[in-house]
Amino acid sequence: MKHANGAALDRLEDLLSAIRTLPDLKERTRGVFYRRSKSFLHFHDDTTGLFADVRRGGEFERFRVTSAAERAAFLEAVRAELIG
């Protein structure tokens, strides 16, 4: 599964905008977020849809983020991970 390119990230701009408002994250390159000095969140594009990998409990967990409902659930999981 390849990392999301600019066109794929364009389709996720609403989600990226919401992530940018969350605390403790720094977007080092478009769509790649770090928390402190560790990679925390990035996106993939696949023939089956768009996916996000987020670090939860020290391991990356993959979420499908193709639909609006999937994006909303993903954003809640990210918020929960950041808040603890």
**Alpha-carbon span 42 to 32, nearest angstrom:** 5
Question: What pTM was estimated for this model as a whole?
Answer: 0.93
**58 Rama class: left (phi>0) / alpha (psi -120 to 50) / beta:** left
Structure confidence by residue, pLDDT tens digits, 68-77: 999 999 999 9
Tokens of 62: 């993959």
Cβ–Cβ < 8 Å for 42, 32: yes
Structure confidence by residue, pLDDT tens digits, 11-56: 999 999 999 999 999 999 999 999 999 999 999 999 999 999 999 9
